[in-house]
Amino acid sequence: MSAYDELLERLKDIDMIGQIGGLLGWDQEVLMPPKAAALRAEQLAWASKAGHMRLTDPRIGELLEELEASEELDDVQAANIRLARESYDKATKLPTEFVAEMAKHRSESLVSWTEARAKDDFSIFRDNLAKSIDLARQKADYLGFDELRYDALLDIYETGLTVARLDPLFAGLRDSVAPLIKAVVESENRPDMSWVEGNSWAQSGQEALSQGVTEAIGFDFDAGRRDVSTHPFCGGTNPDDVRWTTRYSESDPFGSLYGSMHETGHGTYEQGRRRDLDFQPAGEANGLGVHESQSRMWENQVGRSREFCEWVLPLWQQHFPENMEGVSAKALWQAVNLVEPSLIRVEADEATYNLHIMIRYEIEKRLIAGDLEVDDLPDAWDDMYEKFLGIRAPNRALGVLQDIHWSMGAFGYFPTYTLGNLYAAQLLAAAREDLPEHDEQIRRGEFAPLLAWMREHVHQRGSILEPADLIEEATGSPPSPDAFVEYLQDKVERLYGVTA
């Protein structure tokens, strides 16, 4: 057996353990009985420990040293070796017992967060959150960093991401978008939402509507499934088993539809990966920013377009005939694009969404640096919402407890959502150049051409390139906020007749 084949065999074993852990995590959020929580924590800790022990086996280091000396590698082999080296170097910096402790704590913390959110009681989650922050700091210290501890955590989710790169990005977005939001609010040109807010929307109708849209986009339900969870997510093991969740509110039909379209974007990415690269790092999705570009594109830039609203209106009328009586495609388009400061990130409009991310980013920086204490966090959260969005949460469930990420120890994750918005706009602008009939295709519900473009330029490319290089290859330009800002300004002008 060659060194390369041996490396791939070892990486497959590690990936299989990760897939099993992923299924255990999915079950914990969707189907697991409450009394199984303690056992599940032990199971997940074991899986993490087992995977970490295999990844840190000195033999992998020996194989990498041998292969890195080779000058006869193709692009896939080079990517597998580069990615395996990154994983090996990071893993060998983390003690195995520490990895097991983190996994066990994530499981326990998820349970306390779920209860705290349901009961609107931060104190239930407080101690577990404090430990999660401490573990995140320890992890950053183990991994190492040049300037800021938080940089080590950012790099986990997007290679090369740092505070130095993000600070100017958020400042630029704030300077471009905040005046736009202000202009919309001051215009008082609010769309008619009475037909939405004055009706009750049965869950059965929402389920049928979401199912129809998801199937039309191209998600294969023979290789995936949809369920309900407290916080929507997409997971699963490989392209043959992709699982995503949504949630329902009978007072808000948009949350489930656009949440479903968001997770469908993640799901179609997973289902579109190269099958000849199963179990190989080069075949995996390319970082969370790129992954988020697929979900945000389908959710917002397709799903909230005028053309999509014209296509989907008959489905709304079919599943909610009484509620949709007299509602036009234009009224639907205006309603789903309501620009208005709100409390919940996952339900935020495109204009205000990045401000939600910016708030979390600023809070995380302070938490990891030790400049903000856990007991001061809930009020600090509310203060920042009041400062940047002009609103304040009436309770903790709508404030600091709304997101699942900190219960999972995912500090450094949130900024990838903003990167996803920027990447999505840039990718769609490039796709439009190759698909001159794009708008008419969306109006007819023909989503296959756009999905095929993303398959070729994003999904099938896996992680062969680093994220920024993938975006440049697909679009012809390095990552930039320009396409997103231009898209948003154009859309707001058409909807509200205002410019910043």
Q: Which residue(s) pair with 242 in the sheet?
A: 224, 236
292 annotated to bind ligand: yes
Q: Collect all residues with Cβ–Cβ distance below 8 Å to 51 and sequence separation of at least 6.
A: 14, 17, 18, 21
Rounded Cα distance between 237 and 243, Å, is: 8
Distance separating alpha carbons of residues 201 and 290, to the nearest angstrom: 33
User: Quick one: 325 exposed, middle or buried, by C-beta within 10 A (0-12, 13-18, 19+)?
Assistant: exposed
User: Dihedral angle at the C-alpha atoms of 232, 106, 284, 219, nearest 10 degrees?
Assistant: -20
DSSP state of 284: S
Catalytic residue among 29, 158, 263, 284: 263
Residue 234's SS3 state is strand
Q: How far is CA 478 from the centre of its chain?
A: 21
Active-site residue flag, 263: yes
Q: State how far the Cα of 5 lies from the Cα of 134, in Å rounded to an integer.
A: 39
Cβ atoms within 10 Å, residue 258: 21
Q: Are 179 and 500 in contact (CB under 8 A)?
A: yes
Give the separation between CA 287 and CA 477, rounded to whole angstroms: 18
Collect all residues with Cβ–Cβ distance below 8 Å to 339 and sequence separation of at least 6.
181, 184, 185, 349, 350, 351, 352, 492, 495, 496
Q: Per the structure block, which two tokens stand in for 45? A: 């800790």
Distance between CA atoms of residues 370 and 379, nearest Å: 16
Residue 101 known to bind ligand:
no
| Residue appearing with tokens 């000396």 | 69
Q: 266 labelled as ligand-binding?
A: yes
- Enumerate the known binding-site residues: 262, 266, 292
- Enumerate the known binding-site residues for Zn(2+): 262, 266, 292
Active-site residue list = 263
